[in-house]
Amino acid sequence: MTKVLLHILSCLVILLNSGDLLSQSLSDLSFGTDSTFDVVTWNIEWFPKNGSTTVDSVGKIIEFLDADLIGLQEIDDTTLCREMVNEIDDYDLFMDYVWFGGLAYIYKTSSIQIQSIYKIYDTAPYWNIFPRSPLVMELTYLGEKIIAINNHFKCCGDGLIDMGNTSDEEFRRYEANVLLKQYIDANFPTDRVILMGDLNDEITDAIPNNVFQMLLNDSTNYLFADYTIANGSSTDWSFPSWPSHLDHILITNELFTEFSNSGSGIQTIMVDNFMSGGFSNYDFYISDHRPVGMKVKINPNTASLNGINKPSISVTPNPTNGQLFIDLTLLKGELTMKVLDVYGRMVHLLHCQGNQLLEFNFDGQAGIYFLIAESDHNQFVVKFMKK
């Protein structure tokens, strides 16, 4: 058989396998519901792992999962990722283009309103601990404030924490957890916080070498929502190749009651069960990690919003060419007005009085912005677009 014929046959096999992959029962995959806040963490292993078939398949998986928020890790080709999300109705994508570490959020625009997105621990002193800087999204869902923190910790190691050794992988993950706990305690003491990601370690390790022990010890304030998965059958773990369970979702106590509501829950999402060839094909085309998803039945107005309220200000026209009329008639007293871009960077600051219709000429570049009006006791946010 000639080399040309062998090449043709090989191509046909690949095409047939790709067709099988897409034509199998991915359409039967489901996760999100209209009555729950659905969040997924998913390491998609240097997307796209296997070209256009990966792009097409991941796009379909995201569409069928129907989650409100997906925290992604290991995006390699940002252009293809954005093109993929642009083809999915009702979803948008955020990736940081400065010192990009493969982290991103895909979110449902009809259910989530973004207040700000920014990185933390992204300066040189923290690069060893956080090779990919944590990505924070402050959002509202049903008018309720939620904080999401997407992470991808350093991998590997021997399973033992060598305390104080900055080259030890376990110690680096331990330090990452210490810093994240400190950040949440200091900045979001009364907010619903969801920390997610490929945290590259097991929450079931024995105490002397458990990199999450400081969080497990503080059970009054923190809960690994996926703890039952980690302690359950290995067939349900997120990283079958080892096998181990490395992808976690941690919540703060402001979500404990809601996570116990009927309709709430967490699971490893067995996408491979909906593909021809099972996990072998899933691993070849998609990732070596399965996604982990959490549903939370949110009770509106049951938790402190920490001053973030439903908008009591409005801007017109929206979109705008630059001239904005800001309705502050429902607010009283002295106000601080900030304009943030989608990266959470402040691009304008002004001080004014409430109880007026304020004319404001904004000369920023075209894009999405957030206008924040702050008084002594409240903070109001509204999104606008500059054409």
**Percent of residues, the chain, with pLDDT higher than 70:** 88
- pLDDT score at 186: 96
Q: Is residue 2 part of a domain?
A: no
Question: Which residue, 231, 265, 296, sits at the end of a domain?
Answer: 296
User: What mean pLDDT comes out for the span 303-308?
Assistant: 39
Provide the pLDDT for residue 341.
72
* Cβ contact 1:8 at 8 Å: no
Q: Same domain, yes or no, for 239 and 320?
A: no
Do 269 and 328 have their domain in common?
no
Integer Cα distance of 247 and 238 in angstroms: 6
**252 pLDDT more than 50:** yes
Q: Answer whether residue 366 shows pLDDT above 90.
A: no
Contact between 299 and 258 (Cβ < 8 Å): yes
Looking at the predicted structure, is the pLDDT value of residue 13 above 60?
Answer: no
Cβ atoms of residues 31 and 293 within 8 Å: yes
For residue 226, tell me if it sits in a domain: yes
- Same domain for 233 and 117: yes
Q: Rounded mean pLDDT of the chain?
A: 88
Say yes or no: 241 and 265 in one domain: yes
Cα within 13 Å of Cα(144), Cβ side: 22
At position 359, the amino acid (one-letter code) is E
Q: Give pLDDT tens digits for 101-120.
A: 899 999 999 999 998 899 99
User: Do 271 and 317 reside in the same domain of the chain?
Assistant: no
- Asked if 181 and 226 sit in the same domain, the reply is yes
Residue 11 has pLDDT above 50, yes or no: no
Q: What angle do CA 234, 240, 242 make, to 5 degrees?
A: 95
- How far apart (Å, rounded) are the C-alpha atoms in residues 149 and 296? 16
Most distant CA atoms of the chain, gap in Å: 85
Q: Are both 380 and 243 inside the same structural domain?
A: no
Q: Is residue 171 part of a domain?
A: yes
When pLDDT is averaged across residues 246-260 and rounded to a whole number, the result is 94
Q: Domain count for the chain, please give it.
A: 2
Q: Which residue has the higher pLDDT, 22 or 36?
A: 36
Q: Check whether residue 351 and residue 223 sit in a common domain.
A: no
Residues 230 and 345 reside in one and the same domain: no
Residue 6 has pLDDT above 60, yes or no: no
Question: Same structural domain for residues 234 and 329?
Answer: no
What are the φ/ψ torsions at residue 299 (nearest 5 degrees)?
A: -100, 105
The answer to whether position 306 is within a domain reads: no
Q: Residue 98: pLDDT above 80?
A: no
Residue at 342 is within a domain = yes
Judge whether 304 lies within some domain.
no
Do 84 and 55 touch, CB atoms closer than 8 A?
A: yes
- 248/322 same-domain check: no
Give pLDDT, residue 129: 98
* Owning domain of residue 110: 8-296
Q: Which of 239, 264, 296 is the last residue of a domain?
A: 296
Indicate which CATH number applies to the domain containing 346. 2.60.40.3080
Neighbour tally for 102: CB within 10 Å: 21
The answer to the question of residue 305 being in a domain is no
Q: CATH number for the domain including 241? A: 3.60.10.10
Residues 201, 237 within the same domain: yes
Q: Is residue 302, in this structure, part of any structural domain at all?
A: no
CA distance 281 to 55: 14
DSSP line for 344-382: S-EEEEEEEESSSEEEEE--PPSEEEEEEEE-SS-EEEE
Residue 372 in this model has a pLDDT that exceeds 60: yes
Higher pLDDT pick, 204 / 328: 204
Q: What pLDDT does 150 receive? A: 98
